[in-house]
Structure 1
Amino acid sequence: MPSPPEASTTTVPVALGDRSYDVFVAEGGWDALPARLDAALRRTWAGKSCRKALIITDSNVAALAYPGLTRDALAAIGIDATAAVVPAGEASKSLDVAATLFEKLVAMAADRHALVVPVGGGVMGDLGGFVAATFARGLPLFMVPTTLLSQVDSAVGGKVGVNLPKVKNIVGAFHQPVAVWIDVATNGDLPDRELRCGLAEVVKYGVILDAPFFEELEADADAILARRPDRLRRIVARSCELKADVVSKDEREQTGLRAVLNFGHTIGHGVEATAGYGGAFQHGEAVAVGMVAESRLAERLGWVDAAFTERLVRLLARFGLPTSLSGLDPAAILESMGRDKKNKGGRVRLVLPRRMGHVELTDAPSADDLRSLLEDLCR
């Protein structure tokens, strides 16, 4: 893979005091990674003595160049890496698969200085991060996300975890990485559906925090879909900047600010659980329809008008994302939403838009409001 000049790397800082780290958004340029990672590790107590690493990837990514490039970067700074390959798909984000990785670390004689390196999409990041957070009460973590969805969402912010059969992301922890390396060239290997799923999260950032960014996405849709590296680096870097700002102010979801990142996710997670993980709706697709549903709910409350929702629908449709819930059981979605982590006192809490670039967490919608909305959308 050719190495572009250093200027093609954007650095996004995540300011968290002694847990601060950088997100490097590059176009290739893997030769710059060893020095950056070495500096990041040396800033941490555990990383200073790191000589072993466990690379965790899945059966799809293992066939690509990125695990090997990561291993080479680790070797360049004197770290010996062992690889673990798990089955691709959401089913691997489980306690059972995590247990196999714990055993792998035991077999490596890993101590608290061993580095965990997930290479792949959001499932690998969440699973690998959970393993890092819990083995020996915490190992250093270095994220190498290779899908657009993981690059703009799960790799940044420190939320890691696994699923139970009926509840997504319910077993987990907050565990910040020492660094995140994003090469937007990895998106060239993504199937179209995977790229579209990532764009759902990118659109979300415009709705919740940055109205001009939403306008930029509308104007640049063709170039983004064509996977122009400069546009991909721009939208990934801006998404990471927006998320980093929120995380730096509310790392552990204690003030309510970080909840804004869940726009589209309360209904979206209900859609995923109802359709079956790995089923008709992948995560980004579920978030897309969840955003539309939650925008329609905001309409019913008088928070936004129909033109707001239609504008959102147009952009999601332009990116090839679903905007309806046809064929699903509204009662099952509502039941799943009742198990959402944001709920309080038995009330479902949702993040709803007030205007482009601003959303609020609320429990104003009643169960009847939600039921009526879902019945309409599932027809």
Structure 2
Amino acid sequence: MSVVSVGGDYDVVIEAGCSARVAEVVGDGVQRALVVHPDSMRSLGERITASLRDSGIEAYAVGVPDAEDAKTAVVAADLWSVLGRHGFTRTDVVVGVGGGTVTDLAGFVAATWLRGVPVVQVPTTLLGMVDAAVGGKTGINTAEGKNLVGSFHPPRAVLCDLDLLSTLPREDYVAGLAEIIKAGFIVDPVILDLVAEDPEAAGRPDGPHTLELVERAIRVKADVVSQDLKESSLREILNYGHTFGHAIEQVEQYRRRHGEAVAIGMVYAAELAAAAGVLGRDVVDRHREVLTSVGLPTSYEPGRWPELEAAMRRDKKNRGSMLRFVVLEEVAQPVRLEGPTDDQLRTAYAAVCA
């Protein structure tokens, strides 16, 4: 077992089988619990609900749509209605069981019900464990963009049950590696070395370095978040690759896996940094090498620049009409690139499409 403390405010437990411990971590004085799970994980959601009931808590399980279809105002309103019908108070708890979309949704519902009730997150995907469930960002999507409506609401605890990763399709597991590799590029190069040592093993939940990769990525996020919860400065580095990645997701109506979009987004950010003269070609090439080695995409289709640019201009990091990107000067040396020229933006896009 490994435990990562996030600023001393809550713990992230990384251990096989720890999802059975939800009742232990919800806290004292809890009378009611709402377990939010995707429809495809009903069995796990009901199992956790039963364990809460066995501990004397009045627990309810509610299924939501899979993937990004869960992150809508309509679904959130349905969950608010459940909380209201069952008389949830500020001492009760919401439990998110599922991938990043479910933990985002459950956290948002918890943050907004009675202006904030506790939430416990049980991420079931690699992406959820190393990114979405840790850090207290919650949100839902709108037609105008991803995560434009949300709140900062740190969880009471996060339980990363490594046993659950064995149920993931390989494509979903590999997509989650993008966020781990991102942590390697922005802070912890040892991650890149571990992946390069055996890329095939890195793409399997039973690989020899799985626990270390997950723990290192979570520590990167925990350290950053503990210094800057509300993304006023440092936390922006966690968005490396996300400006272009979120644009891809939006123009493709969220049909592409988040990690795949972020992988392409990191290559775009690297090419943009090279076009702006702040990053060497060797690091740009390393992006493609590491990502390709585990089966992640590194290129995009030409002809979609107007849609992508419009989506990027709605990014949360922008200030006024100025585009802002997180880029690298070197591995583990992230900086902000503010107001890149149109020529630099298009040069980077052309390089990604080549």
TM norm structure 2: 0.95
Name stretches of at least 5 consecutive residues in structure 2 with no aligned partner: none
Q: Please tell me whether the aligned partners of residues 330 and 375 of structure 1 are also in contact (alpha carbons under 8 angstroms).
A: no
Alpha-carbon distance in 2 for matches of 1:76, 1:230: 36
In the alignment, is residue 351 of structure 1 matched against residue 326 of structure 2?
yes
Among candidates 236, 251, 263, match of residue 274 of structure 1? 251
Instruction: Please list the CA deviations of residues 4-40 of structure 1 after superposition, one character each: whole Å capped at 9, or x if unmatched.
Output: xxxxx11000115xxx0000000125555543x15xx
Among candidates 32, 51, 68, match of residue 52 of structure 1? 32
Give the AA of the match of 2:101. V
CA gap of 1:198–1:189, structure 2 versus 1, over 3 A, is same
Q: Please tell me whether the aligned partners of residues 52 and 81 of structure 1 are also in contact (alpha carbons under 8 angstroms).
A: yes
In the alignment, is residue 265 of structure 1 matched against residue 242 of structure 2?
yes
Q: Please tell me whether the aligned partners of residues 270 and 333 of structure 1 are also in contact (alpha carbons under 8 angstroms).
A: yes
What residue in structure 2 maps to residue 163 of structure 1?
141
Give the AA of the match of 1:114. D
Alpha-carbon distance in 1 for matches of 2:175, 2:222: 21
Alpha-carbon distance in 1 for matches of 2:72, 2:343: 34
What residue in structure 2 maps to residue 45 of structure 1?
none
Question: Where does 1:1-379 land on structure 2 (aligned, <5 Å)?
Answer: 9-15=1-7, 20-30=9-19, 32-35=21-24, 37=25, 41=27, 48-62=28-42, 64=43, 66-228=44-206, 231-254=209-232, 256-278=233-255, 281-327=256-302, 329-378=304-353
Q: Please tell me whether the aligned partners of residues 224 and 234 of structure 2 are also in contact (alpha carbons under 8 angstroms).
A: yes
Alpha-carbon distance in 1 for matches of 2:207, 2:196: 17
Distance apart, 1:78 and its partner CA:
2.3
Alpha-carbon distance in 1 for matches of 2:340, 2:119: 39
Q: Structure 1 stretches (4+) deviating beyond 4 angstroms? A: 29-33
Alpha-carbon distance in 2 for matches of 1:144, 1:29: 9
CA gap of 1:229–1:180, structure 2 versus 1, over 3 A, is farther
Distance apart, 1:302 and its partner CA:
2.1
What residue in structure 2 maps to residue 3 of structure 1?
none
Q: Please tell me whether the aligned partners of residues 328 and 378 of structure 1 are also in contact (alpha carbons under 8 angstroms).
A: no
Q: Secondary structure at the match of 1:288?
A: helix
Instruction: Please list the CA deviations of residues 107-153 of structure 1 after superposition, one character each: whole Å capped at 9, or x if unmatched.
Output: 11111122100100011001110000001111110000000001000
The count of corresponding residues between Structure 1 and Structure 2 is 354
Distance apart, 1:345 and its partner CA:
2.8
Answer with 117-126 or 78-87: which moved more.
78-87
Q: Secondary structure at the match of 1:361?
A: strand
Q: Give percent identity, aligned residues only.
A: 37
Give the AA of the match of 2:235. R
Q: Secondary structure at the match of 2:310?
A: helix
Answer with 368-377 or 354-363: which moved more.
368-377
Give the AA of the match of 1:27. A
Alpha-carbon distance in 2 for matches of 1:152, 1:373: 28
RMSD: 1.6
Give the AA of the match of 1:296. E
Name stretches of at least 5 consecutive residues in structure 1 with no aligned partner: 1-8, 42-47
Distance apart, 1:211 and its partner CA:
1.4
Distance apart, 1:197 and its partner CA:
1.1
CA gap of 1:185–1:308, structure 2 versus 1, over 3 A, is same
Alpha-carbon distance in 2 for matches of 1:285, 1:13: 29
Q: Please tell me whether the aligned partners of residues 326 and 336 of structure 2 are also in contact (alpha carbons under 8 angstroms).
A: yes
Alpha-carbon distance in 1 for matches of 2:62, 2:20: 24
Q: Secondary structure at the match of 1:304?
A: coil
Distance apart, 1:80 and its partner CA:
2.2
Alpha-carbon distance in 2 for matches of 1:244, 1:155: 11
Give the AA of the match of 1:12. V
TM norm structure 1: 0.89
Distance apart, 1:340 and its partner CA:
0.4
Distance apart, 1:192 and its partner CA:
1.2
